[in-house]
Amino acid sequence: MGERMTIANARFPRVLMFVPQYPYPVVGGLEKQAHELSKALREIGVDVQVVSGQITKDQPEYEEVDGVPVFRFPWPQWKPMRFLRGPFDVLLSLWRKRGEYDVIHLHQHSWISLYVILVAKSLGKRVLTKLPNVGDLGIPGLQRKALGSLRTFVLLKSDAMVAMSQESVDELQTFGYPFFRILTVSNGISLLQRTRFHRAQSSALPMRIVFVGRLSPEKSLDTLLKAWKKVKDRVTSRVQLELWGEGPQETELRRLCRELDISDSVLFSGYVSNVRQRLPEVDIFVLPSSFEGNSNAVLEAMEAGLPIVATRVGGTPMQVGTEGAPLLFPVGDSSALADRLVLLIENPNLRQVYGDAMALRAVNQFDILKVAETYSRAYETLIAQDRPDLSTCGQLPL
């Protein structure tokens, strides 16, 4: 393999993170992970900058967010105008900065991200693209969209792809993507230096079971509410289900609560800004999703020392490992979900055992600095080799 750079330069890759919407700190999981990774990369010496759209009028064209340089291009609120001028603004931004980066890191396969792949190719830059999900939210779903075959063709022109679960690896290979160009690495979490909170149980306080995420169909919250009805019928202790988040299904879910006669024990908390600080105060985390990539919410619940009751989809089994596998359940199975919740509600010692195991796994397997080191090796490989082989740069946690 030919060398593209000197070894000295290869140790300090220059990376441009392209994240279309980066209105930190009000962000989704994708944007949050991109920001945490950017901070960690800079901490270990990687030169990282972010290019994003100017989502709100008060956002400056340039700012530093937690030490991460963020450059913004115009992002019209009217979608047709954004679609028309977006390609020109993106091209101009990437061309102007072409001497400042060697690798472009993409975090999704939206239309504008696919366009960035084409621009990067024209500028002679390497592209690393994360596959954030699988199935309907992955390549098969992309294929079913308008111009799906063309979109997939462009996506697979990425010099390397990030797979965060074995399902992602299998999906990429199904579509003919070479294994040696796949970087296997999970999402990570910045570990908080704190003393773990052990919540004292009191008959005056309900036991708190929490979901964190968007109130939308892919989260299968109807399954959770149906399971909650079963839980309420089986347990005698005071319990409360809390939904931390907003979304299009809120009205529908509130109606289902009334139909199931569980409204008095279900709390719609709306948007919660300080999730990580509040999670250690609850008892059980639940995630009934039908689709997941690498859930940031799961990682935060693990780091908080909570038992994780979740569906066996996407990267979740990898995140909780064999330690948390007994609490996983099939998508849509409200009875299995209820069984696991009842088991934990009635066994405080078991909650502690699972919670301790999750906290230890978060520290050992998902430290964002270790994840950043994996990405750094991948960047170095991309810019140092003509035919980069990323298969040995990282691996998924066991």
pLDDT bucket at 193, cuts 50 / 70 / 90: low
pLDDT at position 197 is: 52
Residue 198 has pLDDT above 60, yes or no: no
pLDDT at position 69: 96
Same fold, 7-188+367-384 and 207-365: yes
Residue-wise pLDDT for 76-101, tens only, equals: 988 899 889 999 999 999 999 999 99
Is the pLDDT score of 145 beyond 80? yes
Residues in a beta bridge with 309: 286
Beta strands in the chain, from DSSP E residues, in sequence order: 14-21, 47-54, 62-65, 68-74, 103-106, 126-131, 160-163, 182-184, 207-212, 239-244, 266-270, 284-287, 308-311, 328-329
Strand residues in 226-373 grouped as ranges (E): 239-244, 266-270, 284-287, 308-311, 328-329
pLDDT surpasses 70 at 228: yes
Q: What percent of the chain has pLDDT over 70?
A: 93
Q: Are 181 and 131 in contact (CB under 8 A)?
A: no
pLDDT at 132 (0 to 100): 84
Contacts of 263 (CB under 8 A, 6+ apart): 254, 257
pLDDT at 27: 65
pLDDT tens for each residue of 254-302: 999 999 999 999 999 999 988 999 999 999 999 999 988 889 999 999 9
Query: CB within 8 A of 32, min separation 6: which ones?
Result: 24, 296
pLDDT of residue 77: 86
For domain 207-365, which CATH number applies: 3.40.710.10, 3.10.28.10, 3.40.50.10490, 3.40.50.2000? Answer: 3.40.50.2000
Q: Which residue is associated with the tokens 């859930």?
A: 295
pLDDT band at 42 (very low <50, low <70, confident <90, very high): very high
Q: Where are the domains of the chain?
A: 7-188+367-384, 207-365
pLDDT tens-digit map of 360-395: 999 999 999 999 999 999 999 999 988 999 999 999
CA distance 352 to 206: 17
Q: What percent of the chain has pLDDT over 90?
A: 80
Could you please state the CATH topology (level 3) that the domain comprising 7-188+367-384 is classified under.
Rossmann fold (3.40.50)
pLDDT at 181: 97
Which pLDDT does position 5 carry in this prediction?
Answer: 41
Mean pLDDT over each residue of the chain, to the nearest integer: 91
Tokens for 180, please give them: 């040696």
pLDDT over threshold 50, residue 230: yes
Phi-psi map region of 282: left, alpha, beta (phi>0 left; psi -120 to 50 alpha) = beta
Given a contact cutoff of 8 angstroms between Cβ atoms, the answer to whether 167 and 362 are in contact is no
Q: Look at residue 6 in the predicted model and tell me its pLDDT.
A: 38
d(CA 304, CA 189) in angstroms, rounded, equals 11
Per-residue pLDDT averaged across 7-17, rounded? 69
